[in-house]
Structures are given as C-alpha cells and as structure tokens.
Structure 1
Amino acid sequence: MFTDFKVKSYCKGATVVGKSLRRHGTTRETVVMVTPNISEATRTSLWRAFDRVVLVDALDSGDGVRLALLGRPELGVTFTKIHCWTLTEYSKGVFLDADTLVLCNVDELFDREELSAAPDPGWPDCFNSGVFVFRPSLETHGRLVEHALRQGSFDGGDQGLLNSFFSRWSVENIDRHLPFVYNLSSSSLYSYRPAFTRFGHDAKIVHFLGSVKPWNQSRGGSGSDFLSLWWDEYQREIIPYLQIHIYHLFYFLLKYFPLQVTVATETAAPVVTDPDPESLARRSRWESGQVDYLGRDAFKNIQAMLDRFLGDRK
C-alpha cells in the first residue's frame, strides 16, 4: 500500500491512512512517499504508521491556467505521486491519497490489474486518482514523465495526467473499474443521496475530496458521518502518542520549573507561596494522564508558555 505526503499539513491525514490500514489487518507492506521539504521530525512520526518512509523529489505541473479551472492552485504538486512507479522492489501496489480513510481490510485490491480505479463522481468516464492499482515500472514512470512534459494535464494535476495517459480506461476492460465503494466521495452531488442511502453502508475506502480536509474541521463540523469516523481513527491512534509527548514536556516543566508564585516586596526577601487550587488540580490531572490536549493544554499553548518563560529569563 502506498500513500503520498507532499505538504506538511497532510501529515495527520497520511498517518490516519497508515494506521487505518494496519488496524484493519493489511498483510501488505505499507509505504509513504515524502518530499524533501518534510522535516526529519515529521518523517520520524510517519514511521509509526508505515513500514517504510521513502524520499522522492517533488514534481509540480506549474500549470496555473488549468489549475484555475479547478480553483485548486496547490494541486500542481500532485504530479509527485507518479514516483510510485519507481518502487520496483514491489510487483504491484495500491495507491491511496493522504485524504482517504480505510474502513475495512482491502487487500483484495491486489487481485486487480493496472490501472484499476473507481470512476470520478464529477466525470464518470474518468477515474478518480485517489485510489488505484498499479504495477511499478521504470519504463512506465519514464513514459509518464515524458507524457507530462509533452502533453501536460487537462486539469493541471495528477488526475488529468493519469487519465490522458491511461486513456482507454473507460472502454478497454470493465474488470479494471473498481466499485465506487473503494473510493467513496464524502460529499454529495445531485442524485447522489438515494444511491448513498442504498449502498453507502458498504463503503470500504472514503475519499475526502475538495479543499477542506478532515483535519481542517472540528469533529462536530458539517459533513457526513465519515468525518466522525476519521476523527475516531485520529483520536484512537494519534492523540495518545501526542499526549504522551506533551505529558513528558509538561512533567519536565513541573520538575524543573515548579508551579510557584513569587511575591516581591521592597522591604522583604521574595516569598514563595503555594500554587492556587486550580493549578494543583491541573497538575493532578496531568500526572494522572488527563490532558486537555484540544483546549488549554494544547501544544501551541504550552509552546507559548515556554516562550514567555524563556523571555522572562533573558
């Protein structure tokens, strides 16, 4: 299983994909591709979710005119995903975008051939490139790069490129049309709701299409129940890890910078008083592992406290 991780803000999504694959018992090796702009710390965190983290060069279409038709200027960099064809140590792969969520074991996709994909909800004669089965090949990779340089992409992103390259997908072999449940759009279109009501419960992979991703929305935000499922996965697998590290940081603060209040006067030496009851209660909650990681104890707030502390010491 392969996923691409091109922009740092997609870290949460990529990690959820990897964790959801593992939780549903995939027997296949999982690989995430990252570009050089991703920090070492972030790459290290991705090792927790994937068997391998592979560094690849970024590819950008630079096609602002066609990307403007989508209203998604950031999607030029999705050309990077064609590097999955260079992973020739594998005989076959299933590519998943970082904004997907796996809902069950999907290892049966490896029974499919290149290029197997589900139809795109916006233009069903084209496949959606968020989930597809492929065979790694340096020859195919070279032809894709040449095709990108010669013809570009009709939408400025990877989907237009891949659909023009695999141009006979819609008519050549119906066996390479994945059922829509392998790439179910989380959004609704005209006439979509009745079909979703009938077939949506069979969903295997959900794809959060569009510019607003689950990690940009609150759990209670607008959208389908799949948003809640994404946050379930995130909180189940990611938050405990973050909580441990925030706890260690805060424990360091408690140990070396105790919660004390110093009152200075003109006539007496500084007096150290006991923390107020709320500070003591908060410390107790931290020491018992009850961290308000989405509120007062969010990492950004701890960082701000550290900055204030260090600023006072200058």
Structure 2
Amino acid sequence: MVVLVSDGVSDYAKKLLKADGWMVEMISLLANPNQVRPKRFWGVYTKLKIFNMTNYKKVVYLDADTIVVKSIEDLFKCQKFCANLKHSERLNSGVMVVEPSEAVFNDMMSKVNTLPSYTGGDQGFLNSYYSDFPNAHVFDPNIPEEVLKSRPAPEMERLSTLYNADVGLYMLANKYP
C-alpha cells in the first residue's frame, strides 16, 4: 500500500508509516484555486495528483476517514474511472478508482481555474469535470474479462453504495478544525 505525504508530515510520522508496511511517497501540495471555500479545503486539490501516478496501472484512492470492512480487491477490476454517488446525485471523491493518465491529469490542470466547484474543493471540481457521471453504468465486478476485452472501456463507472456507504458512524457535532 502507498501513502502520499507532503512536506508537512514529520520524519517521525513517515518512519512510523514505513514501519507499519506503507510505501511512503512524497507529494507536493496543489493549491486550491477557489477563493470561496471552507478553510479546511486549502490543500484538497492535491488529491487530483492521483490521476498522474502513471508509475501505477491502477490507483484505488481512499480518504483517510474511510474504513475498509471487507476485501476491496474487486475495485482493481474497474476500468478508467470509478467512484460512487453519495448523499445525492453527485460524485463522491472519498473512494475512487483511477487508471492514471498524464493526458487526463494535464486536461484537469488546464481546467482547475475555470470549472466550477460546488464544494469549493476537489469533489466539486470532479463533479464538473465528470459532469455526466450520474448517468454512468454501475460497475459490475462479475463481468467476465473476455466480455470486457470485447468492447470499449467506459470512460467512467459508478460504484454501488456497498463500496462507500455511511453505516452509522458519524462525527459528533459535525465540527471541523
């Protein structure tokens, strides 16, 4: 497993992560271009860098507040881009599967200052970038590989809520620093 850390993470914390078996990769922060945004969203656009991790065939991204309760190896069967709808008809960027592409990343970077973000963060940007996401087909990990190879890969697929559902764990008082 790989963890991306910025220069704000201490050497001691990186040492602990390595001792726990993580591959630690340094990453520079990507500034949030939105002037109107929650204070805690200052570095969230950094998440977009997973789209440029071309040294990997597939990236399964999990927000730090994600709890994995069973095997997620099926996610590696997703094709170009998978995420789910959560709380609405909008894409949730807390659990995503990405087939890294320098071309897609560069296209995103060319649009970060022009595409709107309803959240003021990466999730809102991704909803604008993948504007047809609510109409994407639901990812089915049981489709045989021969069938997948016989047709064009979809640009995006929706994950079912089985991959990212609130199951009774809530932040008390909904307060953020």
**TM-score normalised per structure 1:** 0.47
Change (3 A) 1:74 1:211: farther
Mapping of 1:1-314 within 5 angstroms? 30-65=1-36, 67=37, 72-121=38-87, 123=88, 125-175=89-139, 176-186=157-167, 212=175
Give 4+ residue runs of structure 1 displaced > 4 Å after superposition.
Answer: 210-213
- Are the equivalent residues in 1 in contact too, given 2:33–2:112 (CA < 8 A)? no
C-alpha distance in structure 2 between counterparts of 1:142 and 1:40, whole Å:
31
**What is the aligned-residue identity percentage?**
27
C-alpha distance in structure 2 between counterparts of 1:107 and 1:137, whole Å:
21
Which of structures 1 and 2 has the bigger CA Rg?
1
Q: Which amino acid aligns with 2:92?
A: N
- Are the equivalent residues in 1 in contact too, given 2:6–2:27 (CA < 8 A)? yes
C-alpha distance in structure 1 between counterparts of 2:170 and 2:106, whole Å:
28
Q: Which 5+ residue runs of structure 1 have no aligned equivalent? A: 1-29, 188-205, 217-314
Once the 2 structures are TM-superposed, how far is the Cα of residue 179 of structure 1 from its aligned partner?
1.3
Bigger proportion of residues as helix = 1
**TM-score normalised per structure 2:** 0.79
- Are the equivalent residues in 2 in contact too, given 1:64–1:73 (CA < 8 A)? no
Q: Which 5+ residue runs of structure 2 have no aligned equivalent? A: 140-156
Deviations 1:34-69 (A, max 9, x none): 11111111111111334311111112315242x2xx
Q: SS where residue 19 of structure 2 aligns? A: coil
Change (3 A) 1:99 1:82: same
C-alpha distance in structure 2 between counterparts of 1:50 and 1:113, whole Å:
27
- The structure showing larger relative contact order (alpha-carbon pairs under 8 Å, at least 6 residues apart) is 2
